[in-house]
Amino acid sequence: MYQLLIVDDEIHAVRAVQGGVNWEELSISRIHIAHNMKQAKDIFGEHPIDIMICDIEMPQGSGIELLSWVREKHALTESIFLTCHSNFDYAKEALQLGSLDYMLKPVKYHELRNVVQKGVEKVNEKREQHTSKAEGQYYSMLWQTHRPVLMERFWHDVMDRRQSSHPDRIRDALHNQSLPIKETEAFLPVLVYVQRWAEKLSLRDEKLMEYALRNAADDIIWRGCEHRPFVRMSGDLYVAILPAEYLGDDRERLKGILTDYIAACNRYFRCDISCYVGELGLSHEIATRYDSLIRLKDNVLNRSNDVIFWSEELGSSGAVDIIRMNVWLKMLEQGAYDAILSETEHYLQSLQEVGFLKAEVLQQFLQNFLQMLYHFFQYKEWQAYQVLGEEVSLERMSQAVRSLTDLRIWASTALTRTIAYARQREDNVTVMDKVKSFISQHVSQSISREDIARHVHLHPDYLSRLFKKETGQSIVEYILDEKMAIARELLTGTELSVSDVASSVGYSNFSYFSKVFKSAIQMNPNEYRKAARKAAGRKP
């Protein structure tokens, strides 16, 4: 008889799985329920779980994390994944390499039954193996199960410099961990760099994709090789450690295998990825070989979805033309927007042909390009963040120099936003000219913002905000200033009565005009006329 564990944070989903299959027919004698990773671990500590059905998306620890723990602590348990995420259909094949199966919710119960039946058969095989072997053989099998984890941890520590690379220290570490690596055995490190994902991934999605990348490497790169360390060094960096005898000197075959791996990652996981092949080295030399590959990655930034050999790139640096940012700045200032877009794209495209494009070239371009844009913003009296937004954040600029493709995307976005902002401001200036002209022509009338908005075909609220932003005044304030300026001219330069002056600037009520005039000028109309004429030496 067998024991089953169902792990899902959704109670109704657990009940559906629990009631959807006739478990007695599969010799399942007991079903345990857990709603999170902690509960599942507690059950494993109290009961011998043969088969685990586990949801991927759960609070307090994902199904991927739980499976990793189960593999380390309970290697005889067979696991089945459930998930609602149909957008990861492309990962199904890769995930099946490591787990018993990967099924989408709502699960079809006859399919689930078949998968569990297969799991029962596998568990039964393991039981038979266990009973037929001596205790020593059993523990040997457990060690074999854990050996890949120990191997990867060893290589990670070597490349991360946590493990000393002195030959004596390497020898001691291999002996203490009983790892099957000989001092005279050579290895070929291959750096796998995920340059970008088609869509931004959540933390849970990243873990799922790491699992998929690893299993795809098992299937395509290793192809049944007994030792297959695929070490994650950081977020987007992995290292495959290939034994020297794996392919011998057949470099073209290795390139073909890695090209197939890249193509599979492009197709199924929607990411751009490149592989950097290093030099052969003994175990104590792998750390320096890894450092060399990191430098190679940082200095071949114009290649994507490609296989790059260390020996090919040595000394292959090409000449980079110096760009004339002052010419591009003039283009911006003169409004030659299409020309600068074309010039920028042409220059960055030319870098694609450079054999050995160093990181410093991209960094210099980004700094000079930003300096040019900032000069233009200063010339226009604009705030950089208002124009570019998050494109000038440290995170975005750091990402922009990761590769030539990233830089082209960033430069195109920054320039397009700048041009769009410039054109919008030009349109705004044209609108302001029309508004001011309309006010000037109708200053002798009582005009409202609705009248002006109809004239320029804008919503009154939007026009008010735009006018305030462009002039620093509200429309009402501007109209008042215009009326008072004309009134002052009429009071000092003509003999019109105050009543006629009021009428000339759109006020039919003499008293109200006098009140508004005094509020604006600090004198009533008659006082202003006398003071102005006296100052000019004229008779009041």
Q: What is the pLDDT of residues 247-262, one digit of tens each?
A: 777 889 999 999 999 9
Last residue within a domain, chosen from 132, 158, 175: 132
Please indicate, yes or no, whether residues 188 and 305 belong to a single structural domain of this protein.
yes
The CATH number given to whatever domain includes residue 456 is 1.10.10.60
In terms of DSSP bridges, do strands 186-197 and 271-277 run parallel, antiparallel, or are they unpaired? Answer: antiparallel
Measured distance CA(362)–CA(407) in Å, rounded? 7
The CATH number given to whatever domain includes residue 250 is 3.30.70.270
Q: What is the mean pLDDT of residues 203-225?
A: 85
Please indicate, yes or no, whether residues 78 and 42 belong to a single structural domain of this protein.
yes
Q: For the chain, give the mean pLDDT.
A: 85
**Domain tally for the chain?**
4
Is the confidence at residue 96, as pLDDT, over 80? no
Q: In this structure, is residue 163 part of a structural domain? A: yes
Last residue within a domain, chosen from 291, 313, 335: 313
Q: What is the mean pLDDT of residues 395-421?
A: 86
pLDDT, residue 10, reads 92
CB of 329 closer than 8 Å to CB of 376: yes
pLDDT, residue 111, reads 92
pLDDT, residue 429, reads 64
Exposed, middle or buried by CB within 10 Å (0-12, 13-18, 19+), for 442?
A: middle
Q: Which residues pair with 351 in a beta bridge?
A: none
Q: In this structure, is residue 97 part of a structural domain? A: yes
Which tens digit of pLDDT belongs to each residue from 377-402? 988 888 888 888 877 777 788 888 88
Among 201-215, 387-401, 447-461, the range scoring the smallest mean pLDDT is 387-401
Q: Residue 278, SS3? A: coil
Please indicate, yes or no, whether residues 102 and 170 belong to a single structural domain of this protein.
no
Please indicate, yes or no, whether residues 235 and 285 belong to a single structural domain of this protein.
yes
Please indicate, yes or no, whether residues 188 and 282 belong to a single structural domain of this protein.
yes
Q: Can you say whether the dihedral through the CA atoms of 528, 529, 532, 534 is positive or negative?
A: negative
pTM of this structure: 0.50
| 377 phi-psi bin (left φ>0, alpha ψ -120 to 50, beta other) | alpha
Last residue within a domain, chosen from 274, 289, 313: 313
pLDDT, residue 290, reads 94
Q: In this structure, is residue 458 part of a structural domain? A: yes
Please indicate, yes or no, whether residues 201 and 285 belong to a single structural domain of this protein.
yes
Phi, psi (deg, nearest 5) at residue 197: -100, 150
Please indicate, yes or no, whether residues 529 and 386 belong to a single structural domain of this protein.
no
CA triple 397-381-393, angle to 5 deg: 15
Across 11-123, the runs of DSSP E, i.e. the strands, are 28-34, 51-55, 78-83, 101-104
Is the confidence at residue 284, as pLDDT, over 90? yes
Measured distance CA(363)–CA(85) in Å, rounded? 39
Q: In this structure, is residue 434 part of a structural domain? A: no
Instruction: Please name which of 337, 414, 336 lies closest in space to residue 368, comparing C-alpha atoms.
Output: 414
Please indicate, yes or no, whether residues 188 and 215 belong to a single structural domain of this protein.
yes
pLDDT, residue 120, reads 92
Residue 499's domain spans which residues? 442-535
Please indicate, yes or no, whether residues 239 and 329 belong to a single structural domain of this protein.
no
Please indicate, yes or no, whether residues 155 and 303 belong to a single structural domain of this protein.
yes
Measured distance CA(154)–CA(176) in Å, rounded? 11
Please indicate, yes or no, whether residues 127 and 152 belong to a single structural domain of this protein.
no
Q: In this structure, is residue 82 part of a structural domain? A: yes
Q: In this structure, is residue 431 part of a structural domain? A: no
DSSP conformational letter for 89: G
Q: In this structure, is residue 84 part of a structural domain? A: yes
The confidence band for 90, taking pLDDT boundaries of 50, 70 and 90, is very low
pLDDT, residue 39, reads 95
pLDDT, residue 11, reads 92
Tally the C-alpha atoms within 13 A of residue 529's C-alpha that lie toward its C-beta: 17
Please indicate, yes or no, whether residues 149 and 128 belong to a single structural domain of this protein.
no
How much of the chain, in percent, has pLDDT values that exceed 90?
34
Is the confidence at residue 539, as pLDDT, over 70? no
Q: In this structure, is residue 231 part of a structural domain? A: yes
| 59 phi-psi bin (left φ>0, alpha ψ -120 to 50, beta other) | beta
The confidence band for 94, taking pLDDT boundaries of 50, 70 and 90, is very low
| 182 phi-psi bin (left φ>0, alpha ψ -120 to 50, beta other) | beta
Token reading at 519: 């509020």
Measured distance CA(226)–CA(183) in Å, rounded? 18
The CATH number given to whatever domain includes residue 63 is 3.40.50.2300
Q: Which residues pair with 241 in a beta bridge?
A: 189
CA 140 to chain centre: 44
Q: Residue 98, SS3? A: coil
The confidence band for 8, taking pLDDT boundaries of 50, 70 and 90, is very high
pLDDT, residue 103, reads 83
Is the confidence at residue 29, as pLDDT, over 90? yes
Is the confidence at residue 288, as pLDDT, over 70? yes
Q: What is the mean pLDDT of residues 431-440?
A: 86
Is the confidence at residue 513, as pLDDT, over 50? yes
CB of 28 closer than 8 Å to CB of 22: no
The residue with greater pLDDT, 519 or 430, is 519
In terms of DSSP bridges, do strands 28-34 and 51-55 run parallel, antiparallel, or are they unpaired? Answer: unpaired
The residue with greater pLDDT, 65 or 428, is 65
